[in-house]
Amino acid sequence: MSSTTAVAENVPQTRRTHSSLHRQRTWALWGSYVALGVFVIMFLVPPFYTLMTSLKSSAEISAQQGSPWMVHHPTLENFWYLLTYPNFQTFYLNSVMITIATVVVSMVISVLAAFSLARMGFWGSNVLSTGVFLTYLIPASLLFLPLFKIVGFLGLINSVWCLVLLYPTLAVPFCTWIMIGYFSSIPKELDEAALIDGAGYLQMLWRIFIPVAMPGIIAATIFAFTVSWGAFLYPLAYLYTSNQMVLTVGIVSDLIRGDVFQWGKIMAGVVLASMPPILIYAFLMDYYVAGLTAGATKG
């Protein structure tokens, strides 16, 4: 393409077509809004339906009359039932405990390792960082059967605490990877200055790296939280009594008795169980997105 001739031809044209170009832009903008609106409606159908069903009484659901998309007599009885139902409280409590423990363990492991891999280095540390990345690519469903034997060997079958050992394997590789990226972007002059001032490495990590890389730490924490809150395969495979279950498996196994599907209660359970991720997402969306896309910009 020869740019000079194109410019020469374009100059008078642009002046003439300025207003039509402007109109074109406006049309494109509105077109984008309409198309996006269609997509948003399509993507939000299931959450909407969850909410609608959760507000229906069992009688309304089993009557099967009128549009299932609307609530005719909204009621909070499903929510009330679940909040006062001991099993559901246990699931919730287990989920919260396991998630907090997983997040703490994962963050400690990955921040220490990322600091070491990004800044200090030792014999074989490059191999290790590549290895960490490759670990992230190994899915949980590849390892759950040997892990079943290992968990059994440790005597942790049907103990909710086995998840604290296993969930970090899902979260740590990606968190370490995010943190290596954030730590590497901190200028080297900062740690030189700290070393000259007589700070040790742990002090340097605690006083400089963690505060400066706070956005990365929040993003990684959110990732670890999401993983351990939503994991389904491990709890389904290793836990079988309701006092040890977490939300993702508890709702399915406890509210479906034989052929009786208490859809109103199941949907209310889904709403309550999705609340923590949704709230975190609503308040920390930018960190959430930063964590998701960290791979894209670093990779």
Partner 1 sequence: MADGTSVPVGVMTPAMAGARRAGSMKRFAQRRSTTAFLLCLPLILLVAGFVVYPAFYAIWLSLLNKKMTAFVGLSNFAFLLKRNTFQLVIFQSCLFAITAVIAKAILGFIIAHLMHNIPGKNQRIWRGLLLVPWVVPLALSTLTWWWMFDPSYSAFNWILEELGFGAVPWLGVGWIARICTITVNIWFGTPFFMIMYLAALKSVPEQLYEAAAIDGANAVQKLFFVTLPMMRNIIAITVLFSLIVTFADFDIVRILTGGGPQDMTHVFATYAFQVGIQSGDIPLGASVSLFMFPILAVAAFFVLRGVTRRTKEIAA
Cα–Cα distances (Å) from 189 to 204, 208, 229, in that order, read 12, 12, 39
Q: How many residues touch partner 1 (CB under 8 A)?
A: 105
Window 62-81: residues binding partner 1 (CB under 8 A): 64, 67-69
Q: Binding string to partner 1 for residues 172 to 191, with x set by CB under 8 A, is what?
A: xx--x---------------
Separation of alpha carbons 256 and 236, rounded Å = 15
* 287 is an interface residue for partner 1 by CB under 8 A: no
Q: Find the shortest distance in angstroms from Cβ 289 to partner 1.
A: 6
Q: Is 32 in the site for partner 1 (CB under 8 A)?
A: yes
Which residue in the set 27, 33, 80, 283 belongs to the binding site for partner 1 (CB under 8 A)? Answer: 33
**Does the footprint of partner 1 cover residue 198 (CB under 8 A)?**
yes
Is 106 in contact with 167 (CB distance < 8 Å)? yes
Q: Binder to partner 1 among 82, 101, 103, 117 (CB under 8 A)?
A: 117
- Least separation in angstroms between CB 74 and partner 1: 18
- Out of 19, 86, 197, 258, the only residue in the binding site for partner 1 (CB under 8 A) is 197
Q: Is 125 in the site for partner 1 (CB under 8 A)?
A: yes
Nearest 10 degrees: Cα torsion 31, 34, 38, 43: 100
**Residue for token pair 């040997």:** 146
Contact 169, 110 (CB under 8 A): no
Q: Which listed residue (93, 232, 243, 283) binds partner 1 by CB under 8 A?
A: 232
Least distance CB 6 / partner 1 (angstroms): 4
Sequence-distant (≥ 6) Cβ neighbours of residue 208 within 8 angstroms: 186, 190, 191, 194, 199
From CA 69, how far away is CA 53, in angstroms rounded? 8
Examine residue 94 and tell whether it contacts partner 1 (CB under 8 A): no
Q: Would the CA dihedral through 233, 239, 242, 244 be positive or negative?
A: negative
Instruction: In angstroms, give the least distance from the CB of 188 to partner 1.
Output: 14
The nearest distance, CB 2 to partner 1, in angstroms, is 8
Q: Cβ of residue 266: shortest distance to partner 1, in angstroms?
A: 6
Residue 54 CB contacts under 8 Å (≥ 6 apart), including other chains? 78, 79, 264, 267, 268, 270, 271
